[in-house]
Structure 1
Amino acid sequence: MSYKLQEKILVLGCHGMVGSAIVRELSRKGYENVLAVGRSEVDLSCQREVGDFFAEHRVDQVYLAAAKVGGIQANNNYPAEFIYQNLLIQTNVINAAHMNNVQKLLFLGSSCIYPKHADQPMREEALLTGLLEPTNEPYAIAKIAGIKLCESFNRQYGRDYRSVMPTNLYGPLDNYHHENSHVIPALLRRFHEVVAQGGDEVVIWGSGKPMREFLHVDDMASASVHIQELSLEEYQANTEPMLSHINVGTGVDCTIRELAETLAKVVGFKGEIKFDHTKPDGTPRKLMDVSKLRKMGWQAKIGLEDGLRDAYRWFIENEKNLRL
C-alpha cells in the first residue's frame, strides 16, 4: 500500500450518493484532511472556477464523483444535457488537476460504457468493441471520454489517473424521483406507497427475467478507496499498462423478479407482484467481471437483502425531505 493519512484529498460530488459514501469511507479509515466539495462551493461546468479552485487549494489527490446522472427515462429525454454536462465536468476537473500538478485522481464512470451485446460477464477489455445501448449512449460516450482523458494524461504526462466502473448502485442518498430514478429506488418507493395505501398489487414492466447486478454504495466507496490506495506497481500488476479503468461490482446478479420479491420482503408487501409483458425488458443480462478487482485484494461485503434494508431505513428516515 502507498498512501498517507495526512494527504489533502478532494472529493467532488460530496452531496451525492457516491461522493458522500467516499467521504464516510475516508473518515472511517482515518484520513485527516478531506476537502468535501459540492455544487454550491464550485461550478464544475465552469473552467475558470475549477481552475481557480485547484490553484487555491493545492490538493494531493482527487475523487471525481460529481456527474449528471439519471435513469433510463431521464437519459432518453435529456440526452444533450447528459453528454454536455458530463463532458464539461470531467474535462474541467481532470485538466485542472493536471495543470496544478495533482498526481493522483480517481474518476468514477459507469457500466453503461460497455457494448449493448458485450459477452457476459463484461470484462474491461470489452470497451469500444461494439455498439452502445441507444437509450443512454450520450451518457456512456461522456464516461468513455473521461476514461480516455485519464489514460491520455497518464500516457503523455506520467500521471496516475485511474477510473472505476461500478455496476448498478443503491443506498443512502439515492434518487427517488418518480421519473428519473433507477430500478431499486423506483421499485422500493412503489412497494412502500402501495403498502401505505393498503394496496395488494404491484405491476412491474417486462417479464421479470432480465438479470442485473447491484452494489451497495458503501461497498463502492470501499472499493474506490482501496484502488486509490494501491501503489502504481500493485495497480498495474493486474491491468494493462496505461489502462485506467477497473470494474467494481459483486460478481453476482439476480433476476428483476428476484429483486422485486426481496424488496417486497424488506418493505413488508404481502400482495401480488405482476409483470406487464407488453413492456420492454431491455438487455437480458448485465454482469461485471470483477476478477481483476479481486486480484487487487477487494470484494463486496454487503449482501443484497441487507443492503436493501439499509436503503429502506434511510428512505423512511428521509422521506419527508425527498423530491418524489
Structure 2
Amino acid sequence: MQTKIPKYRELDKIYHPDSCDPLIKAFKNGKIKFAGLKRFNYPGEELPDRVLPGVNSLGFWDAKIRQTWGLGWHRNEGIEFTFLSSGHLDFSLGKKEYFLKSGDLTITRPWQPHKVGNPNVEIGKLYWLIIDVGVRQPHQNWEWPDWVMLAQEDLNMLTKILRQNEKAVWMADNKIHQCFQKIGACLEESKYKIPHSKLNLLINELLLLVLEMFNNEKEEIKLDGTLTDNLRTAELFFEDLKNDYDRPWTLETMAVHCGLGITSLTKYSKQLTNLPPINYLNSIRLEAAAELLRNDNDKNIADICYECGFSSSQYFATAFRKMYKCTPKEFRLMVWETER
C-alpha cells in the first residue's frame, strides 16, 4: 500500500510532491526527451521494491526547444539533487529566485517548497535524484538507505553539511557532470532492464563527489546548528500555517505534522508567536476572514467562516467580535461605508 501523498498550500497555490504532469504531457507530445524511474506519483517507470529502496525519483529531461510549461510549487519526499548540464533554467526556492546556468547543482531539502520555470522551462538538459532519508522536518535524524556505501565518517560529514547548510545552488565540477551522464545512460538502458548494480554504484559515486565538492569549496562552508533545532521546525510550521490555515487542525495533528510533542510545540509557539498554537491559528483565520470580508462583498459570511477553517459559524462570530470588536456583518458594512 502506497503512502498517502500530502498536499500543501502557498498563497493562492496548491503544491504537493510533484507528479510532473506537464513534463509527461510534453514528452508524450514529442516536445521533450525524458527518461526516469520512480516511486509514488513521481514520473517514470515504476521501481520494484527491491531495487534501490529509498530512491523516489531519478530521471532527466532534454529540451531542444523552449517549453510552454513549468513545474509549480512543490515539495519532495526526500532530498533532491538536480544538475543542469546545458542551457539555462529559472529556479525558485522559498522566497529566493535563481537563474541556473550549465554546471549548476541544486540541493533541496524535503521541507523546502520550490518551483522550476518562470513560468516556462528554457532549452536545456536537467538531471535529478530524490532520495528519501526518512525525514520531513529539519530537526529529525536522517537515515540513509542501507545500500549507501560511504564510510560512516564520510556519510556523517555529508549529512551534517546537508542538514546545517541550506545553500541552494552549487557550481559542480566535471566529475559530477560525467556521473550524471552515466546515470542518464543507465536510465535509457532501463527501458529494457533496470541496471540495478550500475545505478547503485553511480549514486554512491555521486554522493561521494558531492562531499568532495563541499570539501573543495574555496570558501569555508558555514554550518549553522540552529537549522536542525526543534525550534527551526516549529518556526517553519508556523510560517507555513499562514497559508495552510483552512485545514482541520487540532493541537494533536499540529504536533504530529511537526514531529514534536504537544508540550514542546506549545512552548515554541509561545516563544515564536506569543500565543498557544490554536490561538495563533485562529488569529490567522480571523485575519483571512477579515480580508475576504473587505475584498469580496458578495461572498456569504457563512461561506467565509468555513473557507477560513472554522467549523462553527457561532464560534466564528464570537471569535471575530472578540478580535475586531464588531460582528463580521458590521465589519463589512464599516469597510463599505469607508470606501464610498
TM-score, normalised with respect to structure 2? 0.25
Flag the structure with higher strand content: 2
Structure scoring higher RCO (CA < 8 A, sep ≥ 6) equals 1
Higher Cα radius of gyration: 2
TM-score, normalised with respect to structure 1? 0.26
